[in-house]
Amino acid sequence: MFDPWLLVAALIVEACVGYPLAIYRAIRHPVVWIGIALDALERRWNRPEFGDGARRSLGVVTVVLVAGGAAGIGYVVQTLAGHVSFGSALIVLVASTGLAQHSLFTHVRAVLQPLASGDLAAARREVAQIVGRDTAALSESGVAGAALESLAESFNDGIVAPAFWLFVGGLPGLFAYKALNTADSLIGHREARWRMFGWAAARADDVANLIPARLAGALLAIAGGGGLLVMWRDAPKHASPNAGWPEAAMAGALRIRLGGPTAYDGVMHERPVFGAGSSPTVDDLKRGLRIYVIACGLLWLTAVATGFAMGANG
């Protein structure tokens, strides 16, 4: 198990400073590097002339190579850190790159600010940065709902799950998870082009998020003072075994309705509805952002409690 106190430190560092823009401009972000590797392998191996079986097998190889390579880099960094005097600080700084508390808050607040001031066009542009759906015709409620759904799902994908795998497997676990999650985002789709090649990425990401997604949902419900019953009732409606848990928890905590029909690339898709309240408003987005901050704090407290418990048992 990874030292929970280093996990706490990584969470605090990332929440305070995020991933500095100067560093991003100089060396990009590790997720960008993962994406470049995935894109190169996809272009080389996911070819129409290959049969379905070959494309699925090559997709498995792609996931193993990228996730294994990421884990290997994490292992090397963690091992080297054990031989230098500032090793703990190095591990904390590197681990913070796999978390996204600061950036998620910043992106959702960027949607909230113009929406609250009545600038719907600007709010649509901002929410388009964090969701994949069509945003040009979204109403105020649609923008608020899209931002809340992204906030809830990304609370798991960008924070709880990375923290969980960092604790379970150290830097190798964290880097492997980020590789799997990125692979799912880039190639784990159901469209014909990716259905076979991305099968392994989608399934591996499902497995990696089984525990974290439920933990994320519970943290959001507790932070919002309710929502557990809605989460248990509505989460299984989602096609994904994991995405519905934090989204349903957010809907329940805010006592609103999330989900429903949404257009992607001009095509309307039917999606399940979470919660039974009214449509989301600007005030609900404000409350959702507060719930998110409290949930992050609860995650910190969970890590601190784990540190004390492991210290007592040690």
Which class for 308: exposed (0-12), middle (13-18), buried (19 or more C-beta within 10 A)?
A: exposed
Which of 88, 130, 74, 93 lies closest to 12, judged by CA? 93
Question: What residues contact 166, with CB distance under 8 A and at least 6 apart?
Answer: 2, 7, 10, 95, 98, 173, 174
Specify which residues 258 forms β-bridges with. 274
Q: What is the mean pLDDT of the chain?
A: 96
pLDDT of 311 reads: 85
Q: Which pLDDT tens digit goes with each residue over 89-148?
A: 999 999 999 999 999 999 999 999 999 999 999 999 999 999 989 999 999 999 999 999
Specify which residues 262 forms β-bridges with. 269
Phi-psi category of residue 309: left, alpha or beta, with phi > 0 → left and psi -120 to 50 → alpha: alpha
Which class for 197: exposed (0-12), middle (13-18), buried (19 or more C-beta within 10 A)?
A: buried
How far is Cα 213 from Cα 159, in angstroms, rounded to an integer?
A: 10
pLDDT of 268 reads: 87
Which of 33, 93, 91 lies closest to 66, judged by CA? 33
Which pTM does this prediction carry?
A: 0.96
Tell me the domain boundaries of the chain.
4-313
How far is Cα 90 from Cα 39, in angstroms, rounded to an integer?
A: 29
Between vectors from CA 167 to CA 163 and to CA 173, what angle results, nearest 5°?
85
Per residue, the 3-state secondary structure of the chain, as one string, reads CCCHHHHHHHHHHHHHHCCCHHHHHHHCCHHHHHHHHHHHHHHHHCCCCCCHHHHHHHHHHHHHHHHHHHHHHHHHHHHHHCCCCCHHHHHHHHHHCCCCHHHHHHHHHHHHHHHHCCCHHHHHHHHCCCCCCCCCCCCHHHHHHHHHHHHHHHHHHHHHHHHHHHHHHHHHHHHHHHHHHHHHHHHCCCCHHHHCCCHHHHHHHHHHCHHHHHHHHHHHHHHCCCCHHHHHHHHHHCCCCCCHHHHHHHHHHHCECEECCEEECCEEECCCEECCCECCCHHHHHHHHHHHHHHHHHHHHHHHHHHHHHHHHC
* Positions of the chain with pLDDT lower than 50, given as ranges: none
